Amino acid sequence: MSGSPSSHFGGFKRASNLPSLFVRASTEPLKTRLKNGEKLKGMLLFSASPTLAEIASLAGYDFVVVDLEHGPADFSAALACIGATEVCGGKTVIRLPEISAACAKKALDLGPDGIMFPKVETGKAAAEAVSFCSYPPHGVRGCAYTLVRDSKFGFNKRYLEDYRDNRLIMCQIESEEGVKNVNKIVAVDEMDCVMIGPRDLSASLGLLHDPGNKKVKSAMRTEEMAVLDSDLVNVGAYLAGMATDYDKAVNLKACGYHLVLGSADVSLFKKVVVDDIKTFKLL
């Protein structure tokens, strides 16, 4: 209402004196927003904290990635993070611990907006990952759709018609072998997005302690161009990346990335507490 001292935000009231960047998150699926040409920024949720997931969404991040590959989270923790994020209109992507039908099934049944498969190295692996995300005849996903959260426990009567259109499928290329096969990976039908993993890529090139090395940057550029050029031949994979000391989030956005992961939650917290204690000690 015009002139009202507060407005509703995901069920909560927002005071009128909050920063202008504090806006209602889009209710559109990530996949739809990408199709509309939006550039999206996310946060890697390493801690599996529902509180931090909610804060990130309220702050304006377009999505959070719940990390089941490296972080302490299990599927129950991921569910709590999804619920906390959805309360304020946010979106979640689950990064799986491995490429497997069992992991994909359990993650998808929770109802995230997207799913990320780590260390995809071949077109065959990408095709298998995609098949894990759809029910027969389109894929091999196990069928419990009347019982799981993804279908609102069966209350969503259009679920089987809509679920493939609303789910973002991401494949992470983070090895020398993956870069060699990037064109085959990008060509896989329904593989929506390629996420570049710069640190694992540097390790696979024998440069673990030198992720800014020219050889690493060259491999990343090969991957970037393959994904961005896919738009020109109507394959249309989206390019995603992680901000590092060598590639800031704003630089990735300027280079054409469609999704950018900023710092992880623990990295952000670490920086704040270190700065806080330094300020105190110097007084």
Active site residues: 70
Q: Is the Cα torsion angle 249, 252, 257, 261 positive or negative in sign? A: negative
Are 129 and 172 contacting, i.e. CB atoms less than 8 angstroms apart? no
Q: How many residues does the chain have?
A: 283
Beta bridge partners of 12: 9
Q: Is the Cα torsion angle 183, 33, 81, 243 positive or negative in sign? A: positive
Q: Is the peptide bond before 118 cis (omega within 30 degrees of 0)?
A: no
* Cα separation, 161 vs 163, whole angstroms: 6
Q: List alpha helices for the chain, DSSP H.
A: 30-35, 50-59, 75-87, 101-109, 123-131, 159-166, 176-180, 182-186, 198-204, 214-230, 249-254, 265-282
